[in-house]
Every structure is written in structure tokens, then in C-alpha cells.
Structure 1
Amino acid sequence: MNKEVRVGVAVIIVRDDCILLGQRLGSHGAQTWATPGGHLEVGESIENCAKREVLEETGLVINSLQKLGFTNDIFEDEGKHYVTLFVGASCEQGEPQLLEPDKCAQWQWCNVNELPEPLFLPLTNLIHETSILEKLR
């Protein structure tokens, strides 16, 4: 196991009872569905990280950011440990573009009552640890 704990920022973008999820590629959570997000950089605010990652991955500009909570995520198979900070945001205009096709196969707006499976571990943990889906409905 890697001895370093990394900090991830995950962005739950809500539009019309749906959240934006992407199907991950690569070794870390491959084939799971996850929100846009990424690593918090040194000196970066959580909000700026959220805006930067969403823009880099989808081309969308988000607003109305709010802190939703965090999860402690241990990826046994990959030997990785993350603390994931979840941020809620809205985005009224535009459709997501596939700007990092090596990291994501597709983006979809998913109804909060019918989320695809399997979900990325941090999102699964958030759903199990909080009543986040009730707040988004």
C-alpha cells in the first residue's frame, strides 16, 4: 500500500433531478461511474479545484458551489488511500464534452433514482454514509 494519503475533489453537478457521471477508464476505478473531479493541488482552494477539474474534463462552467461532505476511501486492490471532498454545483447551460478520452469513456446525465452501476468507491461511500441522494431529489 502506498504510504501517502491523497486528497480528491469530486463534483456533484445537478440538473433537472440528474447528476453528471462519467464512465472511468484506466487502472484507478476502471469501468465505474464517477462524478467529475481530481486531485487537489498544493495551494489550491477546494472550490477552484472543482471548477478546474470540471472544465478540464467536460468543458462545463459550474457555479453555486457548496461543500457536501467527505469520504475516507481505501482502494485495497490498487493500494491507494484517498480522502475525497465532495462539492455540489449547478450548471444550467451546455452539454459535457469528452475532453479526456483516455480517462473517461462517456458522460451521462443520470437520474438520482436510477444511477448506473458499478459506482466509483468514493461515490458509493458517500451514498452509504450520508443521505446525500435525498438532498439532491
Structure 2
Amino acid sequence: MLPPSPSLTPPPMEPPTEEPHEEENAPTVTTPVTALLPADTQATKTYNKELKMTCFKLVKKPGRDFRTLFDQLNTVQGSYESRLRVVREVVQEAGRFKRHSLVKLLTQFLDSMVTSEKGGAATATAAAVTRPSVRVNGHSR
């Protein structure tokens, strides 16, 4: 019988070790390194999921007043990657409904998020180079 695929089994967690503290004789418990990495909590994930559904509804509404959408997007919680993922999914939803002006505004919002997180003007120029505007029949998209 073959062993299970390594991609399907989680990596084994090391049990906490007890090491005596030098100042006190009380044992201290150390946690594995993987537990120290920042991770989104379940509450954050559910909040972002509900927020994403609300933003999807706002994308589908007619009109050009997107202030409420951007107010909602400013409240995304979690790590940097999870916030970017939520905004990218809203951009895809806007593209799906052919809201080209909203897609343009959302990509600018996304670029500003990236620039503010990285803290450099070089990131903004790199984003401008990698996303050239497409001209179709005299209209830029």
C-alpha cells in the first residue's frame, strides 16, 4: 500500500518543549515557529467574506457614485495579502459586469494600496509600466 501523498497531509507539528528559565525554575512553553507567523483569524475571514458580498452587490448597482463601495473597501481586515485578494476579486466582479470606469478606479485603488504598503514611488512606476492602457477604437480602457 502506498503512503498518502505529501501534498494532502499537513506537516507534522512539533510538540511544545519545556525549557527551564534561567531566572526562575518554572518551566516555560515554547510554541512552534509556524504559530508565530501572522495569520487571519476566523472572525477576520468571515468579516471579509461578508464585506466582499456587500461590495459585489454595490458593483451591480447602476450609477457612477462609488463612494460607498470605496468606503466599504477601506474597512477590509486581515493581512496585506488577504486585503489585496479581496480588492482583486471586486475588480474581477466589476470587469464581469463590464463596469470599465469602476475597474479603472479600483485598479488605481489597488495600486495605491500596493504603493502605501511598500512605501516607494518605484512600485507605482512599475505598476504603470506593467499595466499599459489598451486603446480600442479611440477609447482607452
TM more than 0.5: no
What TM-score do you get using the length of structure 2 for normalisation? 0.24
Relative contact order, higher structure (CA 8 A, sep 6+): 1
What TM-score do you get using the length of structure 1 for normalisation? 0.25
Higher strand share: 1
Higher helix share: 2
Is the radius of gyration larger for structure 1 or structure 2? 2
